Structure 1
Amino acid sequence: MARNLIIAPGEFYHIYNRGNDKRNIFSSIRDYERFLTLLYVSNGEMPVRLQRQGSTLKDVHDIDCGKKLINLCAYCLMPNHFHLLVRGLTNNGISTFMQKLTTAYTMYFDKRYERSGSLFQGRFKAIHVHNDRYLKYVIAYIHLNPIKLVDSNWKEAGIKDINKAETYLEKYRYSSYLDYTRSTRLENCIINKEALPKYFNTAKDVKDYSRDLLMVKVEP
């Protein structure tokens, strides 16, 4: 987290963290799915008890987790890191949510892979999203992260194949991009798009803005 950054309720923040020593924090489909489940059940005042609640999003998506701590507006899970766009709803909402999320996932990961020690690179990092232009940019920035998996140097050298990149985004399950471009998906329950200003009226608006960022360097 940026030094001396005060996280205030009602403000938007780009939250991210990566594996300790840049190690992978997601090694299987099961790992990704557990983290998605935890994104949902960690966002409430109730304790996380997946043994009782169920271990998949399908099991828990209609469970009442108590008063929400944050609005989660966008996310992307990558093999060795994750990105979230959040808006705190209480004084310590973001910190409490992140503590519940990372603690529960670390406990799962340690048990599954019979390991111990730090999984993440310390405390989560947070950047204040301070205006509309930057907020709109961050939504797309988070959603475009998976392009690195098929074109690792696209930001520096430019996109090689725009159609391949867009097709990959449409197939990547571990990002909220699909919740902005499709009407129905179980993972819709994780995010709250209504907490955002109305930047995109249609799925085409989302895709067009994302394409603009892929084709030309757009600054926040």
Structure 2
Amino acid sequence: MPSRFIVRNLRENCVYHIYNRGVGEEKVFKDAQDFRVFLFYLFVYTTPIEKIMQRYSDLPRRLREKSLLGKLEIVAYTLLPNHFHLILCQHQIDGMPRLMKQVVNGFTAYYNQKYKHSGAVFLGRYKAVEVSEGNLTDLVRYIHREPGDDYEWSSYGRYVGKESFLDCDIDEVMDKYSTREEFIGFHEDTGGYTKSLEKIRSILIES
């Protein structure tokens, strides 16, 4: 991957696209439990404690004490079998690095124990690029369309009023549309989507 995707000078109150894939392009998420564990770590580190305890009343204190609430928000996500996309809005400089370290370390420990694996699960450090306001909606559409509309392991459901594992902050995107139906029309506009790929190519990371 080009070195320009290794972000060293992070900024506050900026949106970032984060991407990584399995070592050797191997599947990282092999079954539903694997997807849920990765999302579990994202959930417990970015969600108010009241909501966490409603879902996980026996959550260990060591995880509760690592909360990053207020440091960043998850805007959108898609997990594919061999890679993931996250779109985050970082409010404090250390928000994104801490989240990624905690999530990847937690998931790697789980994965290595479950599959009798040793070493890294993901290919080096995650890749990240800053996303401008003008490119945000096109990028959200891109990561949601990659697997398809009814895909369980993305935030598309949250955007269209259905259930989603994470309570993503959708306001920055949805405020650009008068109605949810207008957003769905944007999402389903294949011609517009195809044209947008050239515009956002520099922030796709995986291309």
Q: Name the TM-score class by shorter chain.
A: 0.7 to 0.9
Q: What is the CA distance between 1:194 and its match in structure 2?
A: 2.8
| Aligned Cα root-mean-square deviation (Å) | 2.8
SS of structure 2 residue aligned to 1:135: helix
Contact 2:72 2:90 in 1 (8 A): yes
Determine if the alignment matches structure 1 residue 185 to structure 2 residue 138: no
Give distance in 1, aligned partners of 2:96 and 2:7: 16
Task: Flag the 1:10–1:197 CA change in 2: closer, same or farther, 3 A.
Answer: farther
CA distance in 1, matches of 2:151, 2:7: 35
- Residue of structure 1 aligned with 2:28, choices 13, 25, 28: 25
Q: Which sections of structure 2, spanning at least 5 residues, go unmatched? A: 200-207
Structure-2 residue corresponding to 1:139: 140
1:1-220 to structure 2, matched below 5 A, reads: 2-3=5-6, 5-43=8-46, 58-59=55-56, 65=67, 67-130=69-132, 132-147=133-148, 169=149, 171-182=150-161, 184-185=162-163, 187-189=165-167, 191-196=168-173, 198-213=175-190, 217-219=194-196, 220=199
> TM-score, normalised on structure 1?
0.74
Compared CA separation, residues 67 and 215, structure 1 to 2 (3 A) = closer
CA deviations on 1:132-177 (whole Å, 9 max, x unpaired) are: 3211111111111104xxxxxxxxxxxxxxxxxxxxx1x2110000
Residue 202 of structure 1 and its aligned partner are, at CA, apart by: 2.6
**Amino acid paired to 2:182:** D
Q: Distance in 2 between matches of 1:87 and 1:215?
A: 25
CA distance in 2, matches of 1:186, 1:215: 26
Q: Identify unmatched segments of 5+ residues in structure 1.
A: 47-52, 148-168
Alignment-derived partner of residue 49 in structure 1: none
CA–CA distance in structure 2, aligned partners of residues 123 and 177 of structure 1: 26
TM-score using structure 2 length: 0.79
Cα displacement (A) at 1:5: 4.6
Residues 44 and 69 in structure 1, CA contact (< 8 A), matched pair in contact too: no
Give the count of matched residue pairs: 186
Structure 2 CA distance, aligned partners of 1:186 and 1:141? 18
